[in-house]
Amino acid sequence: MTSTVTPTGPATGAPAPRFRSDAPVERGMRRVLRVDRPDRAAGAGAHRAFRVSVAVSAVRCVITYLAVPVLVPLVSLSGWVAAPVGIALCVVAVVNGIVSVRRFWAADHPRRWMYTGFMGVVFVILGIALVSELTRWGVM
């Protein structure tokens, strides 16, 4: 008689959770994001990280495109205030975006590809904004 070995979760004896799909492109994306096993509890964290990254992006847009053009001429500190604040907010938004994408993938969320595509567009916009801020500061 032969026995079948089933992978088990950490110290529970229960079968290890599996991902929805084991397609090569899914495995590749999980490898890039360093997600090795599904974490069903990560779903709430994914939505929270998404809200934070969108909020940071909104604050960055308000500061960059509304507050800075109005307040900076009044204070006469255009490049020295606007660029560092914009750069810092871009970096915070990118970090939060990456965290939220990882959490969506760790949660094995059914809409993880749609969210990944959306965040890809956001990252492109943030990249353009970052280059603009670095140019304004005189680095590029």
| Residue 130 located in a structural domain | yes
| Residue 33 located in a structural domain | no
Structure tokens at 71: 């307040």
| Residue 89 located in a structural domain | yes
| Residue 105 located in a structural domain | yes
Closest to 43 measured CA to CA, from 110, 121, 132, 125:
110
Per the listing, tokens 């956001």 go with 122
| Residue 11 located in a structural domain | no
Domain tally, the chain: 1
Confidence at 7, pLDDT banded by 50, 70, 90: very low
| Residue 4 located in a structural domain | no
The predicted model scores a pTM of 0.66
pLDDT tens for 92-140 read 888 888 888 888 898 888 889 998 999 999 899 889 988 887 887 777 7
Has residue 66 got a pLDDT over 60? Answer: yes
Confidence at 14, pLDDT banded by 50, 70, 90: low
| Residue 23 located in a structural domain | no
Closest to 30 measured CA to CA, from 135, 99, 93, 38:
38
| Residue 26 located in a structural domain | no
Q: Which domain holds residue 104?
A: 39-137
